[in-house]
Structures are given as C-alpha cells and as structure tokens.
Amino acid sequence: MRYFVKLSYNGKNYHGWQIQPNAFSVQETLEKAFTLLLNQKIDIVGCGRTDSGVHASEFFAHFDVINKIDKEGLIYKMNAFLPEDISIKHFFHLKEDAHARFDAISRSYEYKIFLGKDPFLTDFTWQTHHKEIDVNLMNKAAKILFEYENFKCFSRSKTDVKTYNCTISNAEWKREGQLLIFYISANRFLRNMVRAIVGTLLDIGYGKTSIEEFRKIIESQDRTKAGASVKAKGLFLTKIEYPYKLNSN
C-alpha cells in the first residue's frame, strides 16, 4: 500500500533532504523513525531535494507498507518520536503508482531577507544592513525570467541533469517593512537555482548589474556570469502541487 506523507522541517541541523554518506539528512531521520514504528523496512521518496540548511514548510514524500496504517495514531507517534525540527502533518493513501517527485506539477519557494538585524530571525532569514535596494527594479528583472526556459546559468556546476529547462510561472518580490521576500514557482528547479537567482536579482537591486546584463547572463548559460548564491537559511520550500487531490480522510 502506498502512502504520501505531508511534513515540514527546519533545515538548520540537516545536510539537506537526501541521504548521503557521513551527513545528517531529513530522509535518513524519517526512514529510521518509520522503520522502527511500523516494524518493517521503510524507504521514503521525497518530492525533491533541498540543500543543506534549506527549510520546508510544505514537503511531500511517499512510502510503501504491507498493511493499512492508523493515520492519526501514526501522526501522534511520529511527532512524539521525531526531533522537534521535523513535524508530520498528514498521511494520504494513494494508488500504487503515485509518485511524490515525478507526479508533482509545480513547486514554490520563498526566500526571506531581513533588512537589519534581529536575533529572533537569525535561523530563518538572511540578514543584511544594505537597506537601500530598488525592489521595483528587481521585480522588473524578475519578469524577464518568464521569457526563458534554459536556466543553466543559475544551476550548480557539475550537476547530473538531462535538461536545464524549467517553466517559471511566478517570480516577484514583496517588501513588508524590514522583511523582503522573493516568491517563485515553477514546474521544476535546478540545484541551487533559487539562491542563484536571488543573488543575481539583488545585484540588480544594489545597482551592480543592469537589466540588460541580466538578460545576457541568462542567455550565456554560464554560471560564472550570474551573481553569488545567497545563504541557505533564508530559503523555504512552501508548496507542492499535484494533478490529483490529496485527501487525508
């Protein structure tokens, strides 16, 4: 029987979602907990991979079990067993070929910047003292992303992908007082893509890069032409959409 699990996690203490040698990951932590509580070997497949230090306010994964689970009971047991930085929200029983990663049709991220210093936001924002920033110009540049599909210039080097094409459906900045948030949605994302886009758009907001240069950076398909990647701690995976309805009943 195949189940989806909806969860959230604070990525501060993890080297990303995916299991890797000599590193502490969210996937490994969940698999150990599920295996122990369900008394069978559980392998979990996530909806994507978040890098080290990146958070997820909404994340889906799937796993298979022999027998039907008590969903409410398992939510309680998992949350009691797991560390405080991972929270289980819901379980969904789906058809056997449902896939958390390959069935996803849209993913959304937010990147949060605090223009100043706040010790209570240290773990969840990138904090900067550069308050003079042209948000309107950054939004003008962000709209250019809709004109392109190949985003190799924002991808981590030496990544193993068949294509660098992504369809971006939303990209915009919003400022709320000292908090500056970048919202972006696409059918898929390349590794490091959002953080590289944010870094490059900030260069535009600070007057280091022009709109015309931004377009040339995308067309160059060269990572060295784009801006530096911003810190992971300000990045949140916030929404995953599927072509079917997830019903927790």
Residue 216 lies in a domain: yes
Residues of the chain whose pLDDT is less than 70? Answer: 248-249
Domain boundary among 103, 119, 137: 103
Predicted local distance difference test score (pLDDT) of residue 129: 83
Question: Within this chain, do residues 112 and 175 fall inside the same structural domain, yes or no?
Answer: yes
Question: Within this chain, do residues 136 and 202 fall inside the same structural domain, yes or no?
Answer: yes
Residue 193 lies in a domain: yes
- How many domains are contained in the chain? 2
Question: Within this chain, do residues 59 and 144 fall inside the same structural domain, yes or no?
Answer: no
Question: Within this chain, do residues 186 and 226 fall inside the same structural domain, yes or no?
Answer: yes
Question: Within this chain, do residues 127 and 222 fall inside the same structural domain, yes or no?
Answer: yes
Predicted local distance difference test score (pLDDT) of residue 248: 58
Domain boundary among 75, 103, 131: 103
Active centre residues (catalytic): 51
Question: Within this chain, do residues 71 and 88 fall inside the same structural domain, yes or no?
Answer: yes
Predicted local distance difference test score (pLDDT) of residue 66: 94
pLDDT in tens, 179-188: 999 999 999 9
Question: Within this chain, do residues 140 and 70 fall inside the same structural domain, yes or no?
Answer: no
Question: Within this chain, do residues 110 and 53 fall inside the same structural domain, yes or no?
Answer: no
Q: What is the CA radius of gyration of the chain?
A: 19
Domain boundary among 68, 103, 138: 103
Predicted local distance difference test score (pLDDT) of residue 23: 92
Residue 244 lies in a domain: no
Residue 182: give its domain's CATH number. 3.30.70.660
Question: Within this chain, do residues 128 and 226 fall inside the same structural domain, yes or no?
Answer: yes
Domain with 65, as residue range(s), is 2-103
Question: Within this chain, do residues 69 and 174 fall inside the same structural domain, yes or no?
Answer: no
Predicted local distance difference test score (pLDDT) of residue 156: 87
Residue 26: give its domain's CATH number. 3.30.70.580
The pTM of the full predicted model, rounded to 2 decimals, is 0.94
Q: Is the dihedral of CA 80, 84, 90, 94 positive or negative?
A: negative
Residue 161 lies in a domain: yes
Question: Within this chain, do residues 75 and 115 fall inside the same structural domain, yes or no?
Answer: no
Question: Within this chain, do residues 89 and 23 fall inside the same structural domain, yes or no?
Answer: yes
